[in-house]
Amino acid sequence: MSDEDQLIGDFRLAMRRVASTVNVISLTVDGRPMGVTATAVSSLSMDPPSLLVCINRAASVHASMSDMEAFRVNILHRDQEEIASMFADRKMEKLRFVDGWELGADEPPRLLDAQASVLCRRIDCHQFGTHSIFIGVIEDVRVRDDVSPLLYWNGVYGGISEGL
């Protein structure tokens, strides 16, 4: 194994030890809803309120993310593991928006029972390696009262109480 392969393997092991919240990034493209499961989401600043999302250039949403003015970050609740799996599996593409979404002709889809939904105006994009970093300025926020986010670590989904 090359030193580079060893380093990548070690980095993968390190990342498996990071617990992340799970999101579905959604957008509407020519009236069609699209989305992808993503953990690479981070708040960026409060002035202006903004966040960033990292999307693989191989993901079906990638080209549209580069064109669209808006996207939504739907932060998943502990009971939405099935949704996370669906938006990470292209074979499930046809089932992704069948149930539980508010769909508009122009606005990005909103997952009704999400832990929180954050509407963003895409203002910037940077390419790095296999991914693009999209920066969004926040335009609208909805939150669910019950605080219990879905987490992903060491290759499995879980909740906070299970990790304590």
Ligand X SMILES: Cc1cc2nc3c(=O)[nH]c(=O)nc-3n(C[C@H](O)[C@H](O)[C@H](O)COP(=O)(O)O)c2cc1C
Where do contacts with ligand X occur on this chain (CB under 6 A)? 22, 36-40, 54-56, 59-60, 88-90, 152
The distance of closest approach from Cβ of residue 64 to ligand X in the complex, given in angstroms and rounded to an integer, is: 11
The distance of closest approach from Cβ of residue 66 to ligand X in the complex, given in angstroms and rounded to an integer, is: 13
Round to whole Å and give the CA distance between 29 and 43.
25
C-alpha distance from residue 40 to each of 72, 101, 133, 162 (Å): 14, 22, 9, 22
Round to whole Å and give the CA distance between 152 and 126.
25
Identity of the residue, 86 or 119, whose beta carbon is nearer to ligand X in the bound complex = 86
Instruction: Determine the residue with CB nearest ligand X.
Output: 40
Identity of the residue, 55 or 116, whose beta carbon is nearer to ligand X in the bound complex = 55
The distance of closest approach from Cβ of residue 3 to ligand X in the complex, given in angstroms and rounded to an integer, is: 26
Round to whole Å and give the CA distance between 129 and 57.
9
Identity of the residue, 36 or 83, whose beta carbon is nearer to ligand X in the bound complex = 36
Identity of the residue, 1 or 17, whose beta carbon is nearer to ligand X in the bound complex = 17
Round to whole Å and give the CA distance between 156 and 137.
31
Round to whole Å and give the CA distance between 136 and 43.
10
Per DSSP, 108 falls in state: P
The distance of closest approach from Cβ of residue 2 to ligand X in the complex, given in angstroms and rounded to an integer, is: 25
Identity of the residue, 33 or 145, whose beta carbon is nearer to ligand X in the bound complex = 33
Phi, psi of 33 (to 5 degrees): -75, 140
The distance of closest approach from Cβ of residue 47 to ligand X in the complex, given in angstroms and rounded to an integer, is: 25
